[in-house]
Chain A
Amino acid sequence: MGERTFAEDVKQLGYGAGQILQGEGILAITKAVLQSGVSYIGGYPGAPVSHLLDVMGDANEPLLKPMGIYFEASGSEAAAAALLGASLNYPMRGVVTWKSVVGTNVASDALSHVASAGVVGGALIVIGEDYGEGASILQERTHSVALKSSLPLLDPRNSLSAFAHFVEEGFNLSEVCGQPVLFSIRIRAAHMRGTLVCKDNIPPKISMRSRIDHAVFNIEKINLPPFTYAMEAQKFEHRLPAAQRYIHEHGFNEHRPGAEESIGIVMQGGLYNTTARALALLGAADLYGASPVPLLILNAIHPLVPEELCGFLRGKRRVLVVEEGMPNYIEQQLKALAHDERLSVEIHGKDLFGQYGELVPYVVVSGLKKFLTMHEAATVPGADVERRFEALTAHRAKLGAILPTPVAKRPPTFCTGCPERPVFSAMKILRTKQPEVGDTHVSADIGCHSFGTQAPFNVGNTILGYGMGLSSSNAVAPLFGKRVVSVMGDGGFWHNGLTNGVANAVFNKQDSVLVILENFYTSATGQQHNPSTGKNARNEPTTMTIPQALRGLGVTWIKTVNPYRIGEMLGTLRRALTTREGGLKVIIARGECQLERQRRERPLIRKKTERGERVSQPKFGVDPDVCTGDHSCMRVNGCPSLTLRDNPDPLRDDPIAHVDASCVGCGVCGEVAHAAVLCPSFYEVKTISNPGPWERLVGRVRMRVIGALAGA
């Protein structure tokens, strides 16, 4: 979406049987969805699954429409989950996607209802398990949701063909057991590049080209008592047993026997690759994953199949469970099972790996080493394991002596030229220059603008969920000595902020200030369209605007500001914070996402220049002899292009400010220097390519005069 195109990926999604798709894990999943005969596709973007929606947006015209598949980028995860309602009464397949655990939380209401009533058409939920390194959200896993709502949860082994296989099987499973199925994919797996042998795409039976013509009414599908009691019974008497049967009969979980019969390792499918590598490094497997230690790879982690597990445990002395996150449901279930079946097997897991955190190789290798050296095993000698472990880790001891202080952190921040950054500059300036007004509580929100809480701004006291900026200040505002501020992006506003934030605040007569950062895209997840874009994901024009929505809810104090004008922003903030007028005061900082803008404008400018048309391109600079190296600009600006360089002056100590070649000339450097009264070092240079003859002449005359005065 945005102005990016995914032409190559769309082409591959059209591949037929036998053709080889090359791409990331998430693309293989997307392709498998089309091979499964779905009638509808929806979801809310979020790493690492945004790509599914992005590609579908571009595939809508060439691929989805001809097959009659309905596609939408839903307004929120809740809306996406509710889409699955289509599979409740009608035998059609559908897929939705979002980032988890946060997206699952938003979706929970609808999700629980669908899970209770059950489905007749296969329903698959692709969740991007944004957990561990590289995650952008809080650290919880989705497993508990699957347990409480009785949703089968697939966590397949990491290969593109496994992903495709389990997407297709996921739909079958869903239909067999009558429950929506969760399909979990981790960050690195979603971005893993590999190949997939394709099958033909299957057009759905029910589609926009062949619609349903009568409504099905089945009172037993209505989520009201007494039917909900029957539904609950169904889940445990029919649906989950059916799921277990299917999982078992279709070999979802892989049992790999080995010579070392007294021990074994049980793992989540998604952790297989790391575990296999760790075993290989410790000498307990080859590079193809063949190991003398018996392995049980659980590609379906809910529901577990007791027969399978018992079969694996029986006769073993010790079993290790490789399971990520807490609670350790798999380990607990295994222990309970062993107890019930009176099996005398020791079960290890979190005692060796530690309770929480991502199971990265170092953790897995360390845990496996402990497990493998507990008792002597014939084929995997403990001493050998120890020696190999030692070889892998010995060098760590020397680290402290050579890097005496931790390497400087690199927190994520706003892009060069971002329109959101100057808003935080203004807030920081107000906080320092006029603390009696500006040094107040700020409720931040989720989106790129959450970087405002990071260096150099540190503006924002809480982050409590997407679109929750305003609502999370509702109890602070009346109890705080100054007027408080909350922040929201346009993505968050349309997702949740409009109702839970604005409507709630107006309804409860809040007296506070809301700053909406409107950059026309849901940018943090990859510039997806939202109502502020003026186009939906299918590129159809829309007409919703933030001011209209605000007025509709009764907000009267609304100011729209160009965020690059820091002085204006500062003045508006000050006014909002000091005006006698009560109620909610909304400032809309309106400026297009710079990434999008550059993506669009760069090629245009290049073309214009080549055609010989006049082009004026701004950039900023710092006079090296005027800069005294106090770096106060860094502390209020924070642009990645505003950086340091060695002081060219041999008499001075500290590095000076420097604008590097990546500057897009947004002007914030100058505005900050002005608004915060920093220094006269900054200047703007507009380079004119292909100037007209008159301009050329004037330029030459000017430089003649200036040159004469300036001297040699």
Chain B
Amino acid sequence: MADHRIVSVLIPAVGGQGGGVLSEWIIDAALLAGFPAQSTSIPGVAQRTGSTSYVVEIFTRPRAELNGQEPVFCLFPVPGALDVLLAPELLEVGRAIEAGFASPSRTTIISSTHRLYSIHEKMPAGDAIYPREWLEEAARTFSRRFVSFDALALARANRTEANAVLLGALAATGVMPVGVDSFRKAIEQKGVEVAANLKGFEVGYELVRRGADRPAPAGSVAKASVRPEFAAECAPYPEPLRPIVAEALHRLIDYQDRAYAERYLRRLEPFVAGDHDPYTLGGLVARHLAVWMTYEDAIRVADLKTRAARFRRIETEHRAPAGQLVITDYLKPDLDEIYGILPYRLVRPLAAFAERRWPRGRPTLGQHVKITTVSGFLRVWLLARLRPLRPISYRARHEHALMAEWLGAVEQCLRLDYDLACEVARGAQLVKGYGDVRRRMVAAFRALLDSVLAAAAIDPGAARALAEECRTLVLRGPEGEDAASQTAGRTLERLRRSVAGSVLQRDRLPSD
């Protein structure tokens, strides 16, 4: 018997991605080419969004030679015996590898690099996206060949579907017993969006044939370049800080004015002067301070919402001139945000009252503003004109006091331990959100400062670990906030006991 095989293909997809059509094209192509083939699927619970999978098996011996014999097809992909893993989404590659399907000696992995994030990656308050590098490394290690490219982006650019692009890529790898023309015929035979799908097929086919399927390196390049208009001004700064400071200057002037930007530079100064290569602490303070000083008050939001650039962005996204767009903004400032923009002296009594009266969840002013009408636009635009009031506003007083507290803590820690100072600087990442969310995050941040400073007095190393742990926990979301405060309590308790213990021991020593 000649060396015939069963070629098995697994398509792990996310519901609604067209994995079904992809598997049908493959099986149709095989049947057209005269090979026995079978496919099946696990459709997943919902029609959308769950993990779904399709399996196709093709016998490499043409039916004409079989004399009535039937190969036995399996309805499951077999771990370790998989020939092709064809994935419309990258995380699903990881899932298939995790289940042991892909094997370094046998499997060709073809994957789109784009991601559909799972809810568990989306929910945490920080960055919980499963590391792309891990997925790509796994795909490289667990395959004979790893072909990857952003099929979705290619499809969009060519006005076609990602699954057609992937089919082309599959055809180009040559791992299938089926010839390229049979794939084309399968698309034609199906009769849906034939022209667009054929186009997609060719795009994928060409890409892989040319060997142009290397994924773009991760990380954005933009982060490293210095804004030219501030290049001169940033020249005195150490090299790693220049792009950050330039970005910060741009942002602060845009937010308030030149004087405000200078205030920033003055505040930053001590953290740069005392730092050394690679300027980790300086960079952290520079970045977080700039973001914090441009906190999103109602004036800032109004400003961002009424910019020409915003309308241009939406026009391109929706491929229509602004005159044909009706944009409605969902604004719902709460009481804090409203009186926040008024002068401190004026609203202090009101604020004190509000905090007592509504300790949790202040009253709000919900509005749907049609910003593409003149009256709607004016309402928001006029609010943005209040910018000169900002420096004397209630909110400014509050925010800057808190910033000072943070910078003070960083300085204090710097005297004890550089890494501890960096960790405390990183804590500012927690200060974000609006309304209640921001109040909660700020509370978590202050709790972090308090406990870390207390711990630092006893053991700076433990304090650094604590700061990192608390920040990570809070970034996991509301449940993490409780966990963080418990951890802090426990750590402090432990540290205090150990101090008491060692004091006790020292006291005892002589009598022993």
Contact = CB atoms under 8 A, between A and B. Distances in A.
Nearest to A278: B78
Interface stretch (B203-211, B299-307, B341-349, B458-466): B299-307
- What band does the interface of chain B fall in when counting residues whose beta carbon is under 8 Å from A? 35 or more
A405 B130 CA distance: 9
A214 interface: no
A158 B118 contact: no
Interface stretch (A9-17, A183-191, A538-546, A578-586): A183-191
B64 to A, nearest CB: 16
A524 interface: yes
A21 to B, nearest CB: 14
A621 interface: yes
B238 interface: no
Given A188-B40, A621-B314, A677-B332, A685 B117 contact: no
Interface string A548-567: 00000000000000000000
Interface in A346-400: 360-362, 365, 391-393, 395-396, 398-399
Interface in A170-204: 187-189, 191-194
Given A413-B119, A680-B332, A685 B40 contact: no
Interface string B291-309: 1000010000100111110
A540 B308 CA distance: 55
B173 interface: no
A409 interface: yes
Contacts, number: 352
Given A410-B50, A631-B125, A685-B325, A651 B44 contact: no
A412 B290 CA distance: 40
B325 A688 contact: yes
B317 A621 contact: yes
B42 A273 contact: no
Given A416-B48, A651-B291, A677-B361, A402 B134 contact: yes
Contacts of B75: 158, 188-189, 192, 273-274
Nearest to A287: B71
Interface string B115-137: 01111111111111110001101
B71 A644 contact: no
Nearest to A646: B220
B100 A393 contact: yes
A687 B45 contact: no
A679 interface: yes
Contacts of A276: 72, 74
Contacts of A402: 134, 137-138, 141-142
A650 B72 contact: no
A441 to B, nearest CB: 20
A707 interface: yes
Interface stretch (A237-245, A305-313, A467-475, A635-643): A635-643
Interface in A199-248: none
A283 to B, nearest CB: 13
Contacts of B119: 410-411, 413, 454-456, 634, 638
Contact of B43 (A191, A455, A689): A191
B487 interface: no
Contact of A288 (B49, B69, B371): B69
B103 A673 contact: no
Contacts of B475: 654
A51 to B, nearest CB: 11
Nearest to A686: B326
A307 B412 CA distance: 88
Interface string A684-696: 1111110100001
Given A410-B49, A651-B251, A362 B73 contact: no
Interface centre among B130, B244, B329 (most CB of A within 10 A): B329
B168 to A, nearest CB: 22
B486 interface: no
A393 B80 contact: yes
Interface string A271-284: 01110111011000
B333 interface: yes
Interface stretch (A31-39, A317-325, A500-508, A697-705): A697-705
17 contacts: A193-B40, A286-B1, A287-B6, A287-B71, A288-B70, A393-B80, A395-B80, A524-B45, A628-B434, A634-B122, A640-B16, A652-B287, A673-B332, A677-B435, A684-B328, A703-B311, A711-B308
Given A650-B247, A662-B16, 5 more contacts: A455-B120, A626-B301, A651-B248, A654-B475, A702-B373
Interface of B: 1, 4-6, 14-16, 24, 27, 38-51, 55, 59, 69-81, 91, 94-95, 97-98, 100, 102-105, 116-130, 134-135, 137-138, 141-142, 220, 222-223, 243-244, 247-248, 251, 287, 290-291, 296, 301, 304-308, 310-311, 314, 317-318, 320-334, 361, 364, 366, 368, 371-374, 377-378, 381, 429, 432-438, 441, 475, 477-478
